[in-house]
Amino acid sequence: MFIVANWKAYVETAQRAKKLFVVSKRLASRYAGQHEILLAPPSPFLGMLAYANHSKVLFCVQDVSVDASGAHTGEVTAGAAHSAGASYAIVGHSERRAAGDTNEIVAQKMQHSIGQGLIPILCVGEHERNEDAQYLSFVREEILSALTLLSHKDRAKVILAYEPIWAIGKTASEAITSSDLTEMILYLRKVLSDVLSGNASKRTCILYGGSVEPDNARMLAEGTGIDGFLIGHAATQPESFQALVKVLS
């Protein structure tokens, strides 16, 4: 499975970052061949840990700038993240969308990421589940618009993370049910099949994120059709991250 640890802004000291990295390295070599462990630390720690990384852990930047380079104080470009050791980029996370990323901005970030050799992890997900299933067309639009600037070849590289906003940052009891997740994954593959060539949509790696904890990870993994998880709070403590990887193994 793909296990992506999104540290968000939870990890604030180099000491904590190093400790989580040590634990992750151990997990990545212990479960090599079974899991890919990806860490998405805050940018300063990404540079610190990824630059000299010789372990099986892979690195992911939490966001990339909409600008490719130039006079943009405070921005982290896809090129800089790649050069610092990242090989993946989270793009369109709901917390970045809430801070102003429109579908158009997300599409440009997707293009920059791919252009600089980063594999984008495209986050999509509805605010709420409305009765008339409008949320399905909302998610469809997020996917279609994010892929518009990419060639068919590049679209096939994208990882999709379904993260319903109503389920983010809560506890296992408030996460999605496995039957709703199964349905959603089928729907996402159908949407992808409309915009990817040939059989590529069958091979797209699809992750789930939103209140994944050691208590519900296995239930969400089994039979739902997902290829992995994007994990927030539960991945920022060594004990719960280890427990999570263990229940998925």
Q: Which residues are catalytic?
A: 93, 163
Q: Is 223 in the site for ligand PGA (CB under 6 A)?
A: no
Task: Please select the residue that binds ligand PGA; options are 163, 191, 201, 207, rule is CB under 6 A.
Answer: 163
Only one of the segments 17-25, 150-158, 163-171, 179-187 lies at the binding site for ligand PGA (rule: CB under 6 A); that segment is 163-171
> Containing H/E element for 201?
helix 200-203
Contact 181, 208 (CB under 8 A): yes
Structure tokens belonging to residue 143:
């996917």
Minimal distance in Å, beta carbon 194 to ligand PGA?
A: 26
Q: Is 47 in the site for ligand PGA (CB under 6 A)?
A: no
In Å, what is the CA distance from 121 to each residue of 77, 125, 165, 204? Answer: 16, 13, 16, 11
* Residue 163 C-beta-side C-alpha neighbours within 13 Å: 30
Minimal distance in Å, beta carbon 231 to ligand PGA?
A: 5
Q: How far is CA 240 from the centre of its chain?
A: 19
Q: Is 37 in the site for ligand PGA (CB under 6 A)?
A: no
Minimal distance in Å, beta carbon 66 to ligand PGA?
A: 20
Interior/surface letters 211-221, b for 16+ CB within 10 angstroms, e for the rest: bbbbbbbeebb
Cβ-proximal residue to ligand PGA, closest one: 232
Q: Which is nearer to ligand PGA, 105 or 165 (CB)?
A: 165
Task: Please select the residue that binds ligand PGA; options are 107, 168, 217, 245, rule is CB under 6 A.
Answer: 168
Q: Is 120 in the site for ligand PGA (CB under 6 A)?
A: no
Distance CA 46, CA 41 (A): 5
> Containing H/E element for 15?
helix 14-30
Q: Is 126 in the site for ligand PGA (CB under 6 A)?
A: no
Interface residues for ligand PGA in 227-246 (CB under 6 A)?
A: 230-234
Q: Is 116 in the site for ligand PGA (CB under 6 A)?
A: no
Distance CA 40, CA 221 (A): 21
Distance CA 247, CA 249 (A): 6
Only one of the segments 72-80, 191-199, 205-213, 240-248 lies at the binding site for ligand PGA (rule: CB under 6 A); that segment is 205-213
Task: Please select the residue that binds ligand PGA; options are 44, 133, 137, 169, rule is CB under 6 A.
Answer: 169
Only one of the segments 99-107, 146-154, 192-200, 226-234 lies at the binding site for ligand PGA (rule: CB under 6 A); that segment is 226-234
Only one of the segments 73-81, 131-139, 148-156, 208-216 lies at the binding site for ligand PGA (rule: CB under 6 A); that segment is 208-216
DSSP string, 147-165: HTTS-HHHHTT-EEEE--G
